[in-house]
Amino acid sequence: MGLLLPLALCALAACCRARSEPLVVPEAWRLLSRGCSDSDVLHFSDFALQDINKDRKEGYVLSLNRVSDVREHRQESEGSLFYLTLDVLGTDCPVLSKKSWKDCRVRLLHESVYGQCKAILYISRPRRVLYLPAYNCSLRPVSRRAISRMCPDCPVPSPTDLSDPSVLEAATQSLAKYNNESTSKQYSLVKITKASSQWVFGPAYFVEYLIKESPCTKSQASSCSLQLSDSKPAGLCKGSLSQEGIKKFVSVKCEFFESQAPAPGGENSAPTQGPVNLLKVEESQHEGMAPTNAPSEAVPRGSVQYLPDWDDEKPEGSQKKDPREAFPVQLDLTTNPLGENLDVFFFFPGPVKEKLFVLPFPKREHLSPECPGPAQVDNPFILPP
């Protein structure tokens, strides 16, 4: 018994010393800070946003305003996972146009949509892989209250669900004008995507809407019985209807998507750009670094959430909410704080099944020291808090 007591005390002391030593974080759990203005980070963010826009089926192309945060997670195999937080702005290009965000015009302040995207991007230079496994975005319109204070005469948003008959009238009359001026094909309304109103010399309505080709040509207009067409949207029109007394003024301009564009000289529309060849873009920007032609399993998983005007959720004079609630973007491929494996067998054929190791997306409270980066449009009304 006399020998057992000293041994027990020694063991207890050794245990206490072990507990007092600082915890060593395994390399596989470490997230490295990167600068938000780093050229590689900007290049990877550009690719991530291009892929997000490419994956979407409706809405408008998102433009990169700034990189808000970035972390790098080096893998045991070749390559790194980047955890990107991107501040984005809406443009005037529908995603169906397949245009690059760099070729699209950012909306004017009074009609802006802004928000934040979180994306996880895998990069392997030796294997020439750029792969976006997941993303999520949250968007809001710019504050109507703020705009009305700055520009009380600016157009104000109108509902696009046809609850305002004047919006539908603006769309149908502007499309009728386009069809009347067309030399051959006729088009029908698919969906109103944006609308606003303004008092000029009378009420004025501005609309944007998708169109599809009608089964009737102009020469058949009097004898053709219209049938429902399963054709995809062919283009986007921007029209307006204003009134002064009994006089009405209608304007319209339509742009067509990819192969849907009419033959030269057939329609009075502006030429549009075809789909961007990301492979060529990447090769020209980074020699030896290009996205692979990924199989169907590599399609990114994500969504874009449209939120109401922040003023509608935070009435004037109410207690301020936590600004982080303004854009509640969640992106966790895992909720396990120790991380999990992500299967990417489709990129690495062979007997050895290689996997990526992913961690929960880093919290906003711990931004990289050199973040956020400079904004393309540095206006507090369109920068997420």
132 closest CA partner among 42, 53, 36: 53
- Match 């010393």 to its residue by tokens: 17
DSSP β-ladder status, 301-306 and 129-141: parallel
Model pLDDT, residue 385? 81
Q: Which two tokens stand for residue 162?
A: 């046809």
**pLDDT per residue as tens digits for the range 203-212:** 999 999 999 9
Model pLDDT, residue 18? 47
**pLDDT per residue as tens digits for the range 108-167:** 999 999 999 999 999 988 888 889 999 999 999 998 888 888 888 889 888 888 888 999
- Quickly count: other Cβ atoms within 10 Å of residue 375's Cβ: 17
Model pLDDT, residue 301? 84
User: Is 27-143+309-358's fold the same as 151-217+233-256's?
Assistant: yes
Model pLDDT, residue 273? 30
Residue 274 contacts residue 256 (beta carbons within 8 Å): no
Q: Which two tokens stand for residue 7?
A: 């041994």
In the chain, where the domains are located: 27-143+309-358, 151-217+233-256
Say which residues have a Cβ less than 8 Å from residue 240's Cβ, sequence separation at least 6: 170, 174, 204, 205, 206, 207, 249, 250, 251, 252
Model pLDDT, residue 271? 33
Whole-number Å distance between alpha carbons of 94 and 88: 15
Q: Which one is the CATH code of 151-217+233-256: 3.40.50.1370, 3.10.450.10, 3.40.50.720, 3.40.50.300? A: 3.10.450.10
Provide the residue type at 178 as one letter: Y
Model pLDDT, residue 160? 83
* Rounded to 5°, angle at Cα 343 from 339 and 346: 155
CA of 190: how far to CAs of 102, 134, 150, 161, 281, in Å? 27, 30, 34, 12, 33
Model pLDDT, residue 11? 52
Model pLDDT, residue 277? 30
Ordered per-residue pLDDT tens for the chain, 385 residues: 454 444 444 554 555 444 444 434 455 568 899 999 999 999 999 999 999 999 999 999 999 999 999 999 999 878 999 999 999 999 999 999 999 999 999 999 999 999 999 999 999 888 888 899 999 999 999 988 888 888 888 898 888 888 889 999 999 999 999 999 987 789 999 999 999 999 888 899 999 999 999 877 766 655 555 554 567 899 999 999 999 888 999 999 999 997 544 444 444 333 333 222 333 334 434 444 545 445 555 666 899 999 988 777 665 555 555 555 678 888 888 888 889 998 877 766 666 667 889 999 998 777 778 899 999 999 999 998 8
Q: Which two tokens stand for residue 329?
A: 């973007």
Class of domain 27-143+309-358: alpha beta
Model pLDDT, residue 269? 37
Model pLDDT, residue 214? 85
